[in-house]
Chains A and B, each alone.
Chain A
């Protein structure tokens, strides 16, 4: 199995954030995790990213125990992620943001970089060429020397996903990619995300609020409510699941 959660439980000072979550995510396509506010969606993502360690259970990626890995090991295992707050490296240029995404693929020591040894320079040149290619594909090459903070919102969003994608990860975690976007921007973003697995071969696991985006582009959907997994299946199946309907309606006043 590609990504598997087995009986994953996590509680913060007694309050259960995740309760015995069992979930298998196959390789390929787009998998969405939805649920009402505070259902534990981002928490689940943060367990994969290793910002949180569940008190019980196992998480494996391609058979490998993720809980034994440190947060900064994940990039080289092929797991990348975007964040809810856009363009996290705001005071760096677009090109530098992309190069940060390639950090784990550049193998040179700090000393060899300062001395500008041939090996370090070659690695740097190669990374810059690769970053340039991806910036061109994303249509942000013209901004390459601008600070990320100066860019319009939509471009920042694309930059952040681009930074996560530049090292060609196997698994891409997207945390609410449509947050703060209007309907039209969300539709454009959805179309773009939908195309990614086919072009890059990446598997996307997405946490999202916006139901139209989720229903439109994901192959499978898992629903969390109060830290429990209440449904998994194709978007249409899940949408008509009584437990899901109740979870969502119960939230509305």
Chain B
């Protein structure tokens, strides 16, 4: 059973990792923790649901439409709200994303209602056997899709023009500005990309969790946990953190108690932050005055 638990943990952990990478992208560039990340992903997933179920679009068309919607949504949220708060105190920025959390949840509830909906999978779920361990084809798709997205996000951040601009900004905003980097555009881009990552995670996990305005709440807190473990500023850290959390939580749920999973996650967050305030893989920062 251990291997089964491990496989299940890795599959769901890869979703946490992708969502966490979205959080880290925004944090790294604009120093904002987007508490609405999960709700924006939820909303985008509902767009795919709307296209698939009500407008009878093919699955892939619905997914693509929702992805495009997520890009625009992230960009719009940045330009409409967060860009106006770039000089505001941290607290105002946090509160703005909390307000967005409530708005997206409320609007989704108003449009689609609060009962859970089923959401289609990318492929017909079939079972692959490895001895006593069962792996679902959807798990494999999820894992592969997440690895691909993570690799793409990393390559983008590392090797492309816009990625280099993001790095420059995260290291020194003023120097980056002087060198002609359009800070606003890069922020808008990282919000768009981050929302897309969240949306993909949402669409991959919706078949399991069922779609409702609150369905991403649990995923979001685990993504926060993953990002915290990774130090909130490291993309590979967030990826490892997400997988680690998926596995740990899965083991905890199986061997100890499935009912107290969120409590376990919270305790791990608090414990990690207490021992290493910069996260496990985060930089050991020296407090400067």
Chains A and B directly touch (beta carbon < 8 Å): yes
Chain B's nearest CB lies how many Å from the CB of A85? 9
User: Which residue of chain A lies nearest to B286 when distances are taken between CB atoms in the complex?
Assistant: A12
Say yes or no: A83 contacts B289, CB within 8 Å.
Answer: yes
- The residue among B284, B286, B288, B289 with the most chain A CB atoms within 10 A of its own CB is B289
Q: How far is the CA of A83 from the CA of B288 in the complex (A)?
A: 13
- What is the distance, in angstroms, from B82's C-beta to the closest C-beta of chain A? 24
- Give complex CA distance A240, B235 in Å: 52
Interface of B is mostly: loop
6 A-B pairs with least C-beta separation: A51-B289, A46-B289, A12-B286, A51-B287, A52-B286, A83-B289
Q: Closest approach, in angstroms, between the C-beta of B289 and any C-beta of chain A? A: 5
10 A-B contacts, Cβ less than 8 Å apart? A12-B286, A13-B284, A42-B289, A46-B289, A49-B289, A51-B287, A51-B288, A51-B289, A52-B286, A83-B289
Within 8 A of A (CB), among B265-287: 284, 286-287
The interface residues of chain B lying within 8 Å CB-to-CB of A42 are 289
- With a cutoff of 8 Å between Cβ atoms, the chain B residues found around residue A13 in the complex are 284
Could you mark each residue 43-54 of chain A with 1 if its beta carbon is under 8 Å from any beta carbon of chain B, else 0? 000100101100
Q: Which residues of A contact B286 (CB under 8 A)?
A: 12, 52
Residues of B within 8 A of A46 (CB): 289
Look across to chain B and name the residue whose beta carbon is closest to the beta carbon of A83: B289
Q: List the interface of chain A (C-beta within 8 A of B).
A: 12-13, 42, 46, 49, 51-52, 83
B91 → chain A, closest Cβ, in Å?
13
List the B side residues contacting A12 at CB < 8 Å: 286
Query: Which B residues touch A51, using CB under 8 A?
Result: 287-289
Q: In the bound complex, what is the Cα–Cα distance between A12 and B289 (angstroms)?
A: 14
Other CB < 8 Å A-B pairs besides A49-B289, A51-B289, A83-B289, 7 of them? A12-B286, A13-B284, A42-B289, A46-B289, A51-B287, A51-B288, A52-B286
Q: How far is the CB of B182 from chain A (nearest CB, A)?
A: 29
The smallest beta-carbon distance between B93 and chain A, in angstroms, is 18
How close is A60's CB to chain B, nearest CB, in angstroms?
22
Give Cα distance in the complex from A64 to B223, angstroms. 48
Q: Cα distance A49–B284 when bound, in Å? A: 21
Q: Which of B178-235 contact A (CB under 8 A)?
A: none
Give complex CA distance A207, B286 in Å. Answer: 21
Which residues of the partner chain A approach B289 to less than 8 Å between Cβ atoms? 42, 46, 49, 51, 83
Neighbouring A residues of B287 by C-beta, 8 Å: 51
Whole-angstrom CA separation of A49 from B289 in the bound complex:
10
- Give a binary string over B155-196; 1 marks a CB under 8 Å from any A CB, 0 the rest: 000000000000000000000000000000000000000000
In the bound complex, how far is the Cα of B278 from the Cα of A13, in angstroms?
15
Q: CB-nearest residue of chain B relative to A42?
A: B289
Residues of B within 8 A of A83 (CB): 289
In Å, the complex CA distance between A52 and B288 comes to 8
Q: How far is the CB of A239 from chain B (nearest CB, A)?
A: 29
Question: In the bound complex, how far is the Cα of B289 from the Cα of A51, in angstroms?
Answer: 8
CB distance from A50 to the nearest CB of B (A): 11
| B233: min CB distance to chain A, Å | 15
Contact residues, B1-41 vs A (CB, 8 A):
none
**Which residues on the A side are within 8 Å of B284 (C-beta)?**
13
Residues of B within 8 A of A49 (CB): 289
Task: Kindly identify, within residues 87 to 107 of chain B, every residue whose CB is under 8 Å from any CB belonging to chain A.
Answer: none
Per-position binary interface string of chain B over residues 249-268, scored 1 when its CB falls under 8 Å from any chain A CB and 0 otherwise? 00000000000000000000
